[in-house]
Amino acid sequence: MTTPSKRALIIVDLQPDFLPGGPLGVQGGDEIIPTVIELMSRFEIVVATQDWHPADHGSFAANHPGRSPGEVIDLDGLPQVLWPVHCVQDTEGAQLVPQLRASSAKLDAVFRKGTDKQIDSYSGFFDNGHRKPTGLAQWLAEQGVGSVAVCGLALDYCVKFTALDALERGLETTLIRDATRAVNLQPGDDARAIEAITAAGGKVVDSAAILGEPRAGMQDFPEQELIAEGKWLRLVRRGRWEYCQRTVGGTAALIVAVTDDNELILIEQPRPAVAGMCIELPAGLVGDHAGSEDEAPELAAARELEEETGYTPTRLEMVAQGTSTPGLSDEHLIFYVAHGVTKTGPGGGDDHEDITVHLVPLDQVEAWIAAQQAAGRVIDLKIWSGLYFARRAAAARG
């Protein structure tokens, strides 16, 4: 009999209702999305769980007059924490987050849970009474999966019980600590969840330990070797391929910002690599300042927008991510659309950056860029991707 050897990533309940602003929003839940999306490429199998409740579900405090969220009742013989109404079937808040839906080509299966109004289902494998399986365990076995990594929301409930059930099923199980967040109804629930997983035999790692591995299907590539290293970049070789890596801040945040007057905010700054002035989107590295190595990409995006342009957003929406120049570097880009921008500072960047801010009407961007190019300025092609997102956001705004 062949020993199951494939690795699977289980993404738990990454749904809008569990993000900040949702009825059961988990603080910082949105911050894990870029990491989760990036992790998907490192696994042969990727599955998601999806809370999918009927409107009359017994876990909703609203269905128990006089009761409040956070109280514990008996539900069909089991203790049940009461929650706000969330993830009701066929509502937008119950769908998988847009970024995950956009990556659906890499999503091999989705397992819904919590569909029986008489019993809740924290785990992706079973309901809370282990009465009915979701089908996840059998499906993983059929795919030849022997180990799983678990991430998503929320650490102290659905992630924890999914990991514990995976261990109980004999799967080697790893919790990806920085790709999950906790509800923490009681202070320290997050730490206790991790303790429960490790006590049951699970491992706990940060995403960097996995993202440093070759992507799925690339394990046979030669080992990477260092050719040279400078202050900001290193040159490496893998077989016959040579490419560069950043030594600090390997992820960059790009910001697509449009003013209330429908003007796209662009910047101009000198770029020695192309020996000229370059027209670009506002952008910057994540975690490249001393002491900020764990900076959230969204915070970096807000910081860079204010530093470079003087504009501050009320909200940032992550709309896309991926590699910038895969033939040259392993740099990772995250596109954000900045909503509700207002002028709050002078902009211009740091003293050494010499940044000029340009406000370009959305319906004139093509002509304006052509004029800048004719005048000898270099155009960063990422502007065209930004223009797509800018016009899409403007159309949604009406």
Task: Retrieve residue 79's tokens.
Answer: 């203790």
CA 318 – CA 20 distance, rounded (Å): 14
Torsion angle of alpha carbons 312, 95, 125, 32, nearest 10°? -10
CA 329 – CA 236 distance, rounded (Å): 10
CA 122 – CA 145 distance, rounded (Å): 22
**DSSP label at 159?**
I
Of 17, 158, 160, 165, the catalytic one is: 158
CA 323 – CA 329 distance, rounded (Å): 8
CB count within 10 Å of CB 63 equals 14
Task: Retrieve residue 394's tokens.
Answer: 């403007």
3-class secondary-structure state, position 351: coil
For residue 370, give the amino acid letter: A
Task: Retrieve residue 96's tokens.
Answer: 């998988």
Of 30, 113, 120, 151, the catalytic one is: 113
Q: Judge whether 13 counts as a catalytic residue.
A: yes
Task: Retrieve residue 378's tokens.
Answer: 């270099």
Task: Retrieve residue 48's tokens.
Answer: 């998601």
Residues 214, 220, 222: CA angle, nearest 5 degrees: 85
3-class secondary-structure state, position 301: helix
How far does Cα 140 stand from its chain's mean position?
A: 24
Which among 255, 306, 261, 244 is positioned nearest to 280, based on CA atoms? 255
CA 71 – CA 83 distance, rounded (Å): 8
Which among 187, 103, 109, 202 is positioned nearest to 150, based on CA atoms? 202
Contacts of 129 (CB under 8 A, 6+ apart): 76, 77, 78, 119
Which residues are part of the catalytic machinery? 13, 113, 158
